Amino acid sequence: MPRPPARNTPEASSSPLVTVTADTLVAVDFRPRTRNRPPGPYRRLLSRPGTRAFTVGNLIARLPMGMFSVSAVVMIAGSRGSYALAGAVTATGLAATAVVAPWTARLVDRYGQARVAVPATLLAALGSLALLLCVRHDAPAWTLFAAYAATATTPNTGGMSRARWAHLLQGDAESLHTANSFEQAADELCFMLGPVLAAFLCGTFFPEAGTLVGAVLLVTGVLVFAAQRSTEPPPRGRTPGTGTPSPVRAPGMPALLAVCLAMGAVFGSTEVVTLAFADARGHRTAAGAMLALQAAGSCAAGLWYGRLRLTGPAEHRYPWCIAAMTALLTLPPLAASLTGSLPLLSAALLVSGMATAPTMITNMFLVQRRTPDGRLNEGMTLAVTALLGGIACGSAIGGWLVEHLSPTAGYGAPPVTAAALALLICLVARPVRDAA
């Protein structure tokens, strides 16, 4: 005679996870529970037609951005025995980029990404190869400056990718927030891996290997990116007499660019001071890993920030993001001055980097909002140019403080001061932004 079902047996209970049989045995269903779970925001974002292809190409093209400076310094300093010359050459290239990049972005907006980005990339790659040959064959010093200045035509691939997302996601603010978060995390990932890859190539093979591989990756990535014509924003063409204002003169843009300049000073000074701090303790090679940890913290925070469903205008979140960045930047100088321990300083850099990505994501979103129609690439390139200018200034100030005072003093003054200045600019300009 069959026994009636016991309590909590599979016959008596509908729970698919844990059930108890008549013999009091526990049966567990190990089947994945994600079958009916809706896809996450990043999976939904990259499921759109054509997005994965242009994202892969853009990531390949963006990785060399973190390689070229390190490769040039190693290559020039190794052959000429002068870090001063190497720094001057890279600074010249940075200055040339600040002048040429907005002009290149304007052409991209006017004639289209594929039509402008491919020849501009080929010209920049030729500049990198010319620098390599000049170093290899011991050419005069002035040729190094001229060759590296030619790389200023490198298009802003991150800005072009953000422009594609803005074109594809018109009217979908939540998905655009996720896309901007993904792009900022990609920036941090490339600037985290780029220097490590460059140092590995230059040290393992030959000093010119980093520059050579970077040029190949840049050309390959841009060609793949430009081939995805279905997702490319339509060019606006030449529109004389329309009165479209320059992004610089758009309401609220000067303040956003000034904040980018100040935040660039944070990044530039932190990089130089970290290198000097590790070198002073006989661990120069540890500096790359320490800076990579800071980028990793920012990358993780950016991905987390992109999963949030934010409410309220971005203008209200912006000062809070900068304030959090300012507060967390006090951790590295505390760790450096109180302990001098590289592991503790590395942990402080990791935590301090977590406010960077949310700040930059919000900044780029506001830049997109303030940029006039048809000039989005130019507007975002101006923001990147301001960052580069701030990096140059921060590097110079941080280097001066390290040389004349100490690495610890360099941690305390430029990064925190620059972040506080960015917060002040944001708060003072807030009524202008809200009224815009």
pLDDT the model gives residue 216: 95
Give residue 96's pLDDT: 87
Q: How far, in Å, CA of 111 to CA of 170, rounded?
A: 21
The region of weakest confidence among 2-16, 31-45, 250-264, 397-411 is 2-16
What does the mean pLDDT of the chain come to? 81
φ/ψ (deg, to 5) at 26: -95, 130
Q: Which residues of 149-168 are buried (b: 16+ CB within 10 A; e: fewer)?
A: bbbbbbbbbbbbbbbbbbeb
| Predicted confidence band of residue 239 (pLDDT cuts 50, 70, 90) | low
- pLDDT tens, residue by residue, 28-71: 444 445 455 667 788 888 888 889 999 999 999 999 887 888 78
Which residue type does 357 have?
Answer: A
User: How many CB atoms are located within 10 Å of the residue 196 CB?
Assistant: 16
In terms of pLDDT, which residue wins out, 312 or 222? 222
pLDDT at 123: 95
CATH number of 50-236: 1.20.1250.20
* Res. 5: pLDDT tops 80: no
**What is the pLDDT at residue 215?**
94
Task: Please indicate whether the domains covering 50-236 and 248-436 agree at the CATH topology level.
Answer: yes
Query: Given this model, what pLDDT does residue 12 score?
Result: 45
418's CB contacts (< 8 A; 6+ apart) are 262, 263, 265, 266, 269, 390, 394
Burial class of residue 367 (count of CB atoms within 10 Å of its CB; 0-12, 13-18, 19+): buried
Q: Are strands 26-28 and 18-20 parallel, antiparallel or unpaired?
A: antiparallel
Tokens for 404, please give them: 């004349």
> Helix %, strand %, coil % for the chain, to 5?
75, 0, 25
Most confident listed range (59-63, 178-182, 301-305, 337-341): 59-63
Q: Which of 364, 24, 410 is CA-nearest to residue 165?
A: 364
Looking at residues 390-399, what average pLDDT do you find? Answer: 78
- Cβ contact 161:228 at 8 Å: no
Residue 7 has pLDDT above 50, yes or no: no
Band (pLDDT 50/70/90 cuts) for residue 335 is confident
pLDDT in tens, 66-105: 788 878 877 887 888 776 788 788 878 878 888 898 889 8
pLDDT reported for residue 245: 67
Within 223-376, strands assigned E span none
Looking at residue 284, the DSSP 8-state letter turns out to be T
Residue whose pair of structure tokens reads 């479209």 in the numeric block: 244
Q: Which residue has the higher pLDDT, 17 or 317?
A: 317
For residues 225 and 62, what is the distance between their CA atoms, to the nearest angstrom? 11
Which of residues 342 and 291 earns the better pLDDT score? 342
Containing 241, the helix (H) or strand (E) segment is none
Place of tokens 């321990």: 341
Question: Does residue 281 carry a pLDDT above 80?
Answer: no
- The set of residues, in sequence order, having a beta carbon less than 8 Å from that of 186 and lying 6+ positions away, is 58, 59, 62, 158
Per-residue pLDDT at 17 exceeds 60 = no
Contact 301, 354 (CB under 8 A): yes
Averaged pLDDT, 287-303: 81
Q: What confidence tens digit (pLDDT) does each residue in 174-210 have? A: 888 888 888 888 887 887 788 778 878 887 888 889 8
Q: At what angle do helices 113-136 and 209-226 cross, to 10 degrees?
A: 170
φ/ψ of 19, rounded to 5, equals -135, 150
Looking at residue 284, what is its pLDDT?
63
CATH of the domain spanning 248-436: 1.20.1250.20
What does the angle CA 300 – CA 322 – CA 62 come to, to the nearest 5 degrees?
45
Which tokens belong to 279?
A: 């070198």
Q: How far is CA 267 from CA 161, 183, 282, in A?
A: 23, 18, 23
* Structure confidence by residue, pLDDT tens digits, 133-162: 999 998 999 999 999 999 999 998 888 998
Q: What is the DSSP string of 356-378?
A: HHHHHHHHHHHHHHHSPTT-HHH
Amino acid 285: pLDDT: 64
DSSP 154-202: ---HHHHHHHHHHHHTTT-HHHHHHHHHHHHHHHHHHHHHHHHHHHHHH
Q: How far is CA 160 from CA 112, 116, 264, in A?
A: 10, 11, 20
- As a whole number of angstroms, the distance between CA 411 and CA 269 comes to 8
- Stretch among 167-171, 307-311, 359-363 having the lowest mean pLDDT: 307-311
Mapped onto helix, strand or coil, the DSSP state of residue 82 is coil
Q: Indicate whether 431 pLDDT > 60.
A: no
Give residue limits of the domains in the chain.
50-236, 248-436
Determine contact, residues 174/309, Cβ cutoff 8 Å: yes
Q: Is 313:421 a contact under the CB 8 Å cutoff?
A: no
- What integer pLDDT is reported at residue 223 of this predicted model? 95
| Burial annotation 251-265 (CB, 10 A radius, 16+ → b, else e) | ebbebbbbbbbbbbb
Residue with tokens 């006090």: 330
Tokens at 230, concatenated: 């279905």
For residue 143, the model assigns a pLDDT of 93
Q: Which of 16-25, 123-132, 320-329, 381-390 has the lowest mean pLDDT?
A: 16-25
Using CA atoms, how far apart are residues 162 and 61, in angstroms rounded to an integer?
A: 14
